[in-house]
A and B are shown apart, each in its own frame.
Chain A
Amino acid sequence: MVDRSPVGSLTVAGAPLRYMHRCNWKMLVENQTDTCHPMVAHESSAGTAVKIWESMEKTEDTPKPPAMEIIAPFMSPYEFFENMGIRTWPNGHGHTGVHHSIHSDYSAIPGYFESMTEAYGEDRAKEILGENRHNTVYFPNIMIKGPIQQLRNFIPLAEDKTLVESWIFRLDGAPDQLVARTAMYNRMINAPTSMVGHDDLEMYERAQEGLMADGLEWVNIQRLYEEGEDLTQEAVLNGTTERQMRNQFDAWKRFMTGGAA
């Protein structure tokens, strides 16, 4: 993330969002690398955005509203998320967006690539900007979005209460439009007033209520499980695998039992 600044530094921009979730912290951390919920959970927001845009009278020159660039990619099909890829590291860390991500097609900001090339040389600049990671989870409770300079902190307050802080950073030496897009992403996706946030929180709270009941003893996270899965090894896999969730629980269990399990 720091490499994306032509002068190699970041500055916190504005106040962080603070969003209270009445659910267990692990649901939020799992959600960061879950690639099978967006097109279902966010159909109400992203799907409706796409429908409104399609129904609008427009010419080729009609500018696409910012919401279409930020929110609409959540409606990408399963294949998109499969091909995006996921990487897991030992001890519960991992990230989505190995090959591309929902942040890949953001429009270029004039002057930015030029200043990066000047600072790093063209090859290195392309390498830095070619990194399209989606969400990187540093277990247990930090998520970083490198391409859009965001850090989310999941703070457990009780077994059913989690405070989520969403911070954004300015890339020092880069055009203002970048921090403007980051601020837009933060408010559209992660604010207590965000429609996408409403979609997610409703699911978390319903799931939490379900867990408080005795109806189901197990939560299934077997998606794309492979026989002999070795979580002590780094792996790059199909983007819709739940290996990263298994990876997080593997780390949690080891840390909670002091290595006894």
Chain B
Amino acid sequence: MTPEEITDFVYDEAWMLDQGQYHDWLDLWLPDAIYWMPLNWNQQDPINETSLLYEDNFMLRLRVERLHGARTFSQKPKSRCHHLLNRPRIEEISDDEARAVTQMHYIETRLDEQMLLALTVRHHLKRVEGRIMIAGKRVDILNCDAAFGNIQLLP
């Protein structure tokens, strides 16, 4: 992989989320990949403590299908989101694998409410059959231990 490929991937992924291209976004994920959002600052254990998210392919697909569901009342009207990215820092890179960490500001809005979250996003990427795909993603929210209302979309 090249640094430019990794940077483009991270920007494109955030763009898909902001544009609501969720089915294309789901296609970026490898079957065993996990989306982890810790509940605690510097949390080490995703399994035996509560996290905000620790989601496999099935859960991510459920989220996406639910957002499109006719009986999803919490999405009437729908939420919208916006990511503002810093340039990704590439921490590891080889021919077919890379790790990058990106600072982002994430805005989610619905009706009269708007929420701003500061994120540190870690991507683990793999090249599979020529395509770069997500092997794992960890999203740390700066104020992860704050009392939030609904966070309905995917930061």
Tell me how far the C-beta of A91 lies from the nearest C-beta in chain B, rounded to whole angstroms: 29
Given A163-B147, A193-B52: A17 and B39 interface contact (C-beta under 8 Å):
yes
B131 within 8 A of A: no
Residues of B within 8 A of A65 (CB): 56, 58-59
B73/A199 in contact, CB under 8 A: yes
B45 within 8 A of A: yes
Complex Cα distance, B48 from A163, in Å, reads 24
Complex Cα distance, B43 from A14, in Å, reads 9
Complex Cα distance, B61 from A71, in Å, reads 14
Residues of B within 8 A of A21 (CB): 149
Interface residues of A in 41-69 (CB under 8 A from B): 41, 43-45, 47-49, 51-52, 65-67
Residues of A within 8 A of B146 (CB): 18
A13/B148 in contact, CB under 8 A: no
Residues of A within 8 A of B15 (CB): none
A84 within 8 A of B: no
Residues of B within 8 A of A143 (CB): none
Complex Cα distance, B144 from A187, in Å, reads 13
Task: Report which of A16, A66, A206 forms a contact with B50, defined as CB distance below 8 A.
Answer: A16
A103 within 8 A of B: no
Selected interface stretch from B64-72, B80-88, B92-100: B64-72
Q: Chain B at the A interface: mostly helix, strand, loop or mixed? A: loop
A183/B58 in contact, CB under 8 A: no
Residues of B within 8 A of A176 (CB): 47-48
A15/B65 in contact, CB under 8 A: no
Nearest opposing residue in chain B for A164, CB measure = B147
A28 within 8 A of B: no
Residues of B within 8 A of A90 (CB): none
Complex Cα distance, B143 from A15, in Å, reads 13
A44/B52 in contact, CB under 8 A: no
B152 within 8 A of A: yes
A17/B58 in contact, CB under 8 A: no
A44/B71 in contact, CB under 8 A: yes
Residues of A within 8 A of B51 (CB): 183, 187
Complex Cα distance, B113 from A202, in Å, reads 13
Residues of A within 8 A of B66 (CB): 44-45, 48, 195
Task: Report which of B48, B65, B152 forms a contact with A48, defined as CB distance below 8 A.
Answer: B65
A179 within 8 A of B: yes
B151/A193 in contact, CB under 8 A: yes
Complex Cα distance, B150 from A18, in Å, reads 11
Interface residues of B in 29-83 (CB under 8 A from A): 37, 39-40, 43, 45, 47-54, 56, 58-59, 61-63, 65-66, 69, 71-74
B145 within 8 A of A: yes
Residues of A within 8 A of B53 (CB): 187, 191, 193
Given A48-B66, A192-B149, A193-B151: A15 and B50 interface contact (C-beta under 8 Å):
yes
B49/A13 in contact, CB under 8 A: yes
Interface residues of A in 108-165 (CB under 8 A from B): 163
Tell me how far the C-beta of B71 lies from the nearest C-beta in chain A, rounded to whole angstroms: 5
A224 within 8 A of B: no
Residues of A within 8 A of B69 (CB): 44, 48
A183/B37 in contact, CB under 8 A: no
Complex Cα distance, B75 from A195, in Å, reads 11
Residues of B within 8 A of A49 (CB): 62
Nearest opposing residue in chain A for B50, CB measure = A186
Given A48-B62, A52-B61, A202-B73: A187 and B50 interface contact (C-beta under 8 Å):
yes
Residues of B within 8 A of A201 (CB): 74, 149-150
Interface residues of A in 161-189 (CB under 8 A from B): 163, 166, 168, 170, 176, 179-180, 183-184, 186-188
B152/A198 in contact, CB under 8 A: yes
Task: Report which of A15, A44, A191, A197 forms a contact with B145, defined as CB distance below 8 A.
Answer: A15
Residues of B within 8 A of A26 (CB): none
Taking A15-B50, A170-B48 as known contacts, 4 extra A-B pairs with beta carbons closer than 8 A to each other, sorted by chain A number, are A15-B39, A19-B147, A44-B69, A187-B54
